[in-house]
Amino acid sequence: MLRTRSSLLRRLKDSSDEESWKEFVTLYEPLLLAYARRRGLAEEDASDVTQEVLASLFRSLPGFELTRDRGRFRTWLWRVVQNSIADWGRRQARRHRAEKGWRERIRPPTGDAEREHEAEWNAAYRKRVLELALQRVRKKTSPVKWTCFERHKLEGQAGATVARELGISVELVYVNASRVLARVRDTCAEYGDDFCAGDGV
């Protein structure tokens, strides 16, 4: 269960907090796997890289401090993943003398390519955090309140349309939708990011 008023990153400073670490892995493991696969790694290799990243984070996050120089956590994490994929590629090249085309594909991107890769990472990050936030909030929300939020805020239906379908007042549709939206944003904030306020939710 999520704890309010305490971000996930702060809770991870306690390496013995199994509940928070489990929550962290639930959030990030699918994201890391999917990103590694998109970078061209086979399933088994993507899994290996993901486990290496998670092991590294387990060692480093208890002492991690988010500073202005580092920027957002998702950007810092992206660079950790990029470095891990590059390290894997160098090991592969040394071990198997991989052909030049493969080495080019896994080389850390620069310039426009780096910006494109970072944009792709940010989009995947936002999608995963929002996906998990919506799942968690929905479990704790009544069907009527969730329908108000889903149809009005996510699907963009007019409040009056939703009200007619549910047999409630327009004002109640707005109130329900706004309250659920606030809970979704609070849940996103648990993961140390602020994108929900301006990225479509």
Question: Would you say residue 42 has pLDDT above 60?
Answer: yes
Q: How far is CA 125 from CA 22, 32, 62, 91, in A?
A: 18, 9, 21, 27
Identify the pLDDT of residue 2.
38
**Model confidence over 71-126: pLDDT tens digits?**
688 888 898 898 899 888 888 776 665 455 555 555 566 677 778 888 888 889 88
Identify the pLDDT of residue 104.
56
Residue-wise burial string across 100-111, b where 16 or more C-beta atoms lie within 10 A, e elsewhere: eeeeeebeeeee
Band (69; pLDDT cuts 50, 70, 90): low
Chain mean pLDDT for the chain: 83
Q: Which two tokens stand for residue 158?
A: 């007019």
Surface-to-core class of residue 59, CB atoms within 10 Å of its CB (0-12 exposed, 13-18 middle, 19+ buried)? exposed
Q: Per this entry, what is the length of the chain?
A: 201
**In angstroms, rounded to a whole number, what is the distance separating the alpha carbons of residues 139 and 64?**
31
Q: Which two tokens stand for residue 119?
A: 């944009």
Helix or strand or coil: residue 72?
coil
Question: Which domains can be identified in the chain, with CATH numbers?
Answer: 1-108 (1.10.1740.10), 136-201 (1.10.10)
To the question of pTM greater than 0.85 for the whole model, the response is no
State the CB neighbour count (10 A cutoff) for residue 182.
Answer: 11
What is the C-alpha R_g of the chain? Answer: 20
**Model confidence over 124-174: pLDDT tens digits?**
988 899 999 999 999 999 999 999 999 999 999 999 999 999 999 999 999
Question: Would you say residue 3 has pLDDT above 60?
Answer: no
